[in-house]
Chains A and B, each alone.
Chain A
Amino acid sequence: MTFLSYLISGISLGSIYAIIALGYTMVYGIAKMLNFAHGDVIMVGGYMSFMATTNFGWPPLLSVLFAMGVCTVLGILIEQLAYKPLRSAPSLAVLITAIGVSYFLQNAALLIWSPNPKSFTSVVLFDSVRLFDGKLIISGTTIVTIVACIIIIVALNTIVNKTKVGKAMRAVSEDKDVAQLMGISVNKTISITFAIGSALAAVAGVLLCSAYPILMPTTGAMPGIKAFTAAVFGGIGSIPGAFLGGILLGVIEILGKAYISTQLSDAIVFAVLIIILLVKPTGLLGKKVLVKV
């Protein structure tokens, strides 16, 4: 029974990683860039929800929507100001700019909200569910996290595969120039991708802070790196891959913490990643691109 409860908390943590990883993977698939500032958008989302509930006294659901709104605007703003002028620049230049944006967000948060950790009250108001005569307790936050992740995956898959915007996204991801020739606005598509990714980051931020209620300017950094790992794990650019990678990463981390060593859990996660990449060099669900001479 304890194994089951570890497994469930692993899936719950993995769901959060998956939601963050989706943002990474979508931006990578379409703009071909590693958006290192993504982890810090999570942190901004957390703070927004915190402010909305504590300072303005808004209901939890409204605070989540507020966080999503702010992060969407922030994501588009970052894209327009920092990344758009670098569309034709080498990828490392964009990477460094993304790091600059990440520093900026962290330090701005440091100035606005001070380095003191804030204790976040969970936005989930459900009671814990007790199963098997109280042997297995699942908290409301865990359930909401897993459900939210499933809804997001299904919605995203529908958007990407069934709608016109999704078709444009797939086209831009395949070949930017040809997509433009077909009358698709590449800039608009990339902006929409950033908007969706940032809104997801806000949701992830709120869920993360609900599960681990300490909010600091550096809150988003480590989950950001892990989610990036998850995205690569599953094959970067692939939406089902990000989901699978996120869940696996979360489960490995929690089980490693529980059964092997608390301090070494991160090392275990990364070691598994290295082994997976050795066996499948483009991630679990990544496409193998053959280079033709």
Chain B
Amino acid sequence: MKSLKSRYNIDNWLTYGLVIFAYIVMRILIANGKVSFALQGQLVPITVYIVMAVSLNLTVGVLGELSLGHAGFMSVGAFSGAISATLLELSVRTTLPAWMRLALAMIIGGIVAGFFGFLIGIPVLRLEGDYLAIVTLAFGEIIKNVINVIYIGYDANGIRISTESANALNLGENGKIILSGPMGAIGITKISTFTAGFILILITLFIVLNLINSRAGRAIKAVRDNKIAAESVGISTWKYRMMAFVTSAALAGAAGALYALNYSTVVARKFDFNTSILVLVFVVLGRMGNIRGSIIAATVLTVLPELLRTFNEVRMLVYAVILILVMLVRNNTTLQHLYQRIVTKLRYDRPPAEEGDEA
């Protein structure tokens, strides 16, 4: 047991080290002007997608439930974060520094998304398999539609909310519309930074890795592997499934807030089914349950469409073909046996059966 624990530790430090190393390298490259403008614009989205992928991995890989609505939590976090950041800027007399507003927005985004995670978890976690997946999908679509009919404004008299139109807010002089239905959250001050994203990744890793390797994490994995067996040894499946689900939602919410504050406007359509699927692709390609894999897959696949710019029009087609080919090659049984043989040869002291279970 002890050797297993030290292995987890080495593995975890490797993950932290990778992130810190990548951050330092990027900082040096940026300082030397080696990073193109287009790639610099991608830095915050990359950190956002890393957090999204790691948090979804908690639901899909560690808990073993397919979620097709992860972007819904991102959306909740994005809008609550953007609204609270704008309100903080408008209402508080002594203006807080930007980083503090960003941190508060991410915390609020995380808490609100976590709360929604709990609300959604009540019906979702009663279901199993594909039925659970479809309800998470339904939730994502509902969030998208509901945000499209909410209007929020702020003036001297305080906050006003309407579900009809921007005019129905009846804003006074100097009033400002914060959320404008289908137009989304407007007039956001861009305060997200690459460093903030880096810190959010570290916090996410700290939470997720510690959760996975804790007593609760082992319980979650036991529920994944065999629900009935876990129940029969006295593990409360509801509690641990909910724990993983809410943590995952809250982290996605914080990532959403970071994402929203990187742009001047953000619309609900951005967080649709396709975004959920995109994050799911990161998780599956990075290997389920493997946190480091999620980080690498999220980075590579966010940068890939940019790198494929040379192909211009056919780039998304190439992306699709690469995606299919990777899945085909990775699941090819002949290649899998070959890989297993090489791995066993390289580290013959470790049984190969533990592959894929690494966190």
A93-B328 Cα distance, complex, nearest whole Å: 9
* A273, B135: Cβ atoms closer than 8 Å: yes
Interface string of A75-93 (1 = CB under 8 A from B): 0000000100110111011
A83-115 interface with B by 8 A CB criterion: 85-86, 88-90, 92-93, 95-97, 99-101, 103-104, 107-108, 110-111
* A267, B281: Cβ atoms closer than 8 Å: no
Q: Distance in Å from the Cβ of A291 to the closest Cβ of chain B?
A: 7
Note all chain A residues with C-beta closer than 8 A to B138.
Answer: 229, 270-271, 273-274
B78-125 interface with A by 8 A CB criterion: 123
Note all chain A residues with C-beta closer than 8 A to B126.
Answer: 278, 281
B120-161 interface with A by 8 A CB criterion: 123, 126-128, 130-131, 134-135, 137-139, 141-142, 145-146, 148-149
* Chain B residue at smallest Cβ distance from A92: B284
A270-B272 Cα distance, complex, nearest whole Å: 14
Q: Distance in Å from the Cβ of A49 to the closest Cβ of chain B?
A: 23
* A261, B131: Cβ atoms closer than 8 Å: no
Note all chain A residues with C-beta closer than 8 A to B281.
Answer: 96, 99
Note all chain B residues with C-beta closer than 8 A to A274.
Answer: 123, 135, 138-139
Note all chain A residues with C-beta closer than 8 A to B13.
Answer: none
Asked if B4 is at the interface (CB within 8 A of a chain A CB), the reply is no
* A93, B149: Cβ atoms closer than 8 Å: no
Question: Which residue, B313, B314, B323, has most C-beta atoms of chain A within 10 A?
Answer: B323
Asked if B333 is at the interface (CB within 8 A of a chain A CB), the reply is yes
Q: Distance in Å from the Cβ of B165 to the closest Cβ of chain A?
A: 11
* A100, B323: Cβ atoms closer than 8 Å: yes
A99-B138 Cα distance, complex, nearest whole Å: 18
Asked if B332 is at the interface (CB within 8 A of a chain A CB), the reply is yes
Asked if A155 is at the interface (CB within 8 A of a chain B CB), the reply is no
A92-B273 Cα distance, complex, nearest whole Å: 16
A225-B141 Cα distance, complex, nearest whole Å: 10
* Chain A residue at smallest Cβ distance from B133: A34
Asked if A44 is at the interface (CB within 8 A of a chain B CB), the reply is no
**Interface size bracket, B side:** 35 or more
Note all chain A residues with C-beta closer than 8 A to B324.
Answer: 82, 97, 100-101, 104
Main secondary structure of the interface of A (DSSP, over half): helix
* B134, A273: Cβ atoms closer than 8 Å: yes
Note all chain A residues with C-beta closer than 8 A to B148.
Answer: 263
Note all chain A residues with C-beta closer than 8 A to B139.
Answer: 270, 274
Note all chain B residues with C-beta closer than 8 A to A89.
Answer: 327, 331
A254-293 interface with B by 8 A CB criterion: 261, 263-264, 266-267, 270-271, 273-274, 277-278, 281-283, 291, 293
Note all chain A residues with C-beta closer than 8 A to B127.
Answer: 277, 281
A-B CB contacts (within 8 Å), total count: 117
* Chain A residue at smallest Cβ distance from B226: A293
Asked if B28 is at the interface (CB within 8 A of a chain A CB), the reply is no
Q: Distance in Å from the Cβ of A134 to the closest Cβ of chain B?
A: 35
Asked if A67 is at the interface (CB within 8 A of a chain B CB), the reply is no
**Interface size bracket, A side:** 35 or more
* A281, B128: Cβ atoms closer than 8 Å: yes
* B130, A277: Cβ atoms closer than 8 Å: no
Contact of B141 among A34, A90, A270 (CB under 8 A): A270
Note all chain A residues with C-beta closer than 8 A to B304.
Answer: none
* A282, B131: Cβ atoms closer than 8 Å: yes
Asked if B48 is at the interface (CB within 8 A of a chain A CB), the reply is no
* Chain B residue at smallest Cβ distance from A218: B274
* B321, A104: Cβ atoms closer than 8 Å: yes
Asked if B285 is at the interface (CB within 8 A of a chain A CB), the reply is yes
Q: A111-B314, A274-B123 are in contact. Are A225 and B142 (CB under 8 A)?
A: no
Asked if A236 is at the interface (CB within 8 A of a chain B CB), the reply is yes
Asked if B58 is at the interface (CB within 8 A of a chain A CB), the reply is no
* B323, A103: Cβ atoms closer than 8 Å: yes
Note all chain B residues with C-beta closer than 8 A to A270.
Answer: 137-139, 141-142
Note all chain B residues with C-beta closer than 8 A to A93.
Answer: 284, 327, 330-331
A97-B316 Cα distance, complex, nearest whole Å: 15
Asked if A47 is at the interface (CB within 8 A of a chain B CB), the reply is no
Q: Distance in Å from the Cβ of A64 to the closest Cβ of chain B?
A: 28
* B323, A277: Cβ atoms closer than 8 Å: no
* A264, B135: Cβ atoms closer than 8 Å: no
Q: A266-B141, A278-B123, A283-B131 are in contact. Are A261 and B149 (CB under 8 A)?
A: yes
* B131, A277: Cβ atoms closer than 8 Å: yes
Asked if B177 is at the interface (CB within 8 A of a chain A CB), the reply is no
Q: A96-B281, A264-B146 are in contact. Are A229 and B134 (CB under 8 A)?
A: yes
* Chain A residue at smallest Cβ distance from B329: A85
Asked if A228 is at the interface (CB within 8 A of a chain B CB), the reply is yes
B2-17 interface with A by 8 A CB criterion: none
Asked if B171 is at the interface (CB within 8 A of a chain A CB), the reply is no
* B145, A263: Cβ atoms closer than 8 Å: yes
Asked if B66 is at the interface (CB within 8 A of a chain A CB), the reply is yes
* Chain A residue at smallest Cβ distance from B316: A107
Question: Which residue, B134, B280, B288, has most C-beta atoms of chain A within 10 A?
Answer: B134
Could you list some 8 contacts between A and B, CB below 8 A? A82-B328, A92-B66, A96-B280, A103-B319, A229-B134, A267-B145, A270-B137, A282-B131
> Beyond the given A89-B327, A111-B313, could you list 17 further A-B residue pairs with CB under 8 A, ordered by the A residue number?
A85-B328, A86-B328, A92-B288, A93-B331, A95-B66, A96-B281, A101-B320, A107-B316, A107-B317, A225-B141, A261-B149, A266-B141, A266-B142, A267-B146, A274-B123, A277-B135, A278-B126
Binding site for A on B (CB under 8 A): 60, 66, 123, 126-128, 130-131, 134-135, 137-139, 141-142, 145-146, 148-149, 182, 228, 273, 277, 280-281, 284-285, 288, 313-314, 316-317, 319-321, 323-324, 327-328, 330-333
Which A-B residue pairs are the 4 nearest by beta carbons? A270-B138, A103-B320, A104-B320, A267-B145
Binding site for B on A (CB under 8 A): 28, 34, 82, 85-86, 88-90, 92-93, 95-97, 99-101, 103-104, 107-108, 110-111, 225, 228-229, 232, 236, 261, 263-264, 266-267, 270-271, 273-274, 277-278, 281-283, 291, 293
